[in-house]
Amino acid sequence: MRIGELSRVTGVSLRSLRYYEVKGLLAADREENGYRIYNATAIERVNTIQFYLRLGFSTDEIEGFLNCVMKNKEAFCEEILPMYEQKLAEIDRQLHQLGQIRSNLVERMEAIRREQESKASGQ
Amino acid sequence: MRIGELSRVTGVSLRSLRYYEVKGLLAADREENGYRIYNATAIERVNTIQFYLRLGFSTDEIEGFLNCVMKNKEAFCEEILPMYEQKLAEIDRQLHQLGQIRSNLVERMEAIRREQESKASGQ
DNA sequence: ATAAACCCTAACACTAATGTCATAGTCAAC
DNA sequence: GTTGACTATGACATTAGTGTTAGGGTTTAT
């Protein structure tokens, strides 16, 4: 199939499909005129790429285990679990940081509201 | 005081101080030779900018209320509480999204571990 | 008068996946 | 044989604050 069809079937833009090729995630043969041709397995491959992107993995990270998880079940790939653990730690760091910011925001908001009330009550 | 001293006192880089000027956050007079000169209030102003940046506000957002909060107490500025609420909502959206991703990660990790164990137990 | 420390502007880099546009070749259908 | 749909590559834009470098003036102290 050509790139337009692959885009329609997967819902991924032409731009992104070409980008995945540049990043080494998605190979394509070429017709004589230079058009990319994909075999049927490309659909699942693109879906898999999107799956990992939504999990917060970068294309560079995905490149490290995509071939393995496409050939085997995820659990068979030894490199995948450490990647998950590392990504989880990253997410937890971000959650912690956002939580800190949130606390500070809420604290300031409460202080402002207290000041406004004390002013309104003629205090 | 000149920019180098302001940088030393506040711990903010020259680059950032000049950037704040471009963004309209921090005005500076000029000596005849073109050097920026700041009055003493610039120190508190820079500290205030940093305070809001750490709360997750952008320079554009800070520009909207900085003059008011520098002249008055925060609670006096009517525009500030809606900004806080908006920022809090933003943070909560991000927290929610990160939480979703985290759940998916953990779920996948558990599934992988289960598969590996069932394989190891000769299942 | 020279070295060291200071200041100026302007510009590129960075992150990272995607959108968009420009220019152009190819192909199918009518 | 021309229109319209499809494809190709390449390049710039996006976010946003900061780092860094280049090239060039100024001030201060010795």
pLDDT at A122: 67
Nucleic acid strand D: bases within 7 A of protein CB: 6-9, 11, 16-20, 25-27
What are the domain boundaries of chain A? 1-74, 78-123
Higher pLDDT, A123 or B46: B46
Nearest to B109 among A84, A109, A111 (CB): A84
pLDDT at A92: 95
Retrieve residue A105's tokens. Answer: 């925001």
Where do the H-state alpha helices sit in chain A? 3-10, 14-22, 41-54, 59-71, 80-120
- Rounded Cα gap, residues B80 and B76, in angstroms: 9
pLDDT at B116: 84
Confidence of residue B25 (pLDDT cuts 50, 70, 90): very high
Which class would CATH give A1-74?
mainly alpha
What count of Cα atoms within 13 Å lies in the side-chain half-sphere of residue B108? 21
CA A7 to chain centre: 18
pLDDT at A19: 97
B79 has pLDDT over 90: no
Q: Is the CB of A43 under 7 A from strand C?
A: no
Residue segments in chain A with a per-residue pLDDT below the cut of 50:
none
B68 has pLDDT over 60: yes
Confidence of residue B122 (pLDDT cuts 50, 70, 90): low
- Rounded Cα gap, residues A89 and B63, in angstroms: 35
First to last CA, chain B: 75
- B108, closest residue in chain A (CA to CA): A84
Higher pLDDT, B118 or A99: A99
- Three-state DSSP at A7 gives helix
What single-letter amino acid sits at B106?
Answer: V
Q: Is A115 on the interface with B (CB under 8 A)?
A: yes
- Rounded Cα gap, residues A91 and A7, in angstroms: 30
- Three-state DSSP at B30 gives strand
Confidence of residue B123 (pLDDT cuts 50, 70, 90): low
Core vs surface per residue B20-44: b (16+ CB within 10 A) or e? beeeebbebeeeeeeebebeeebee
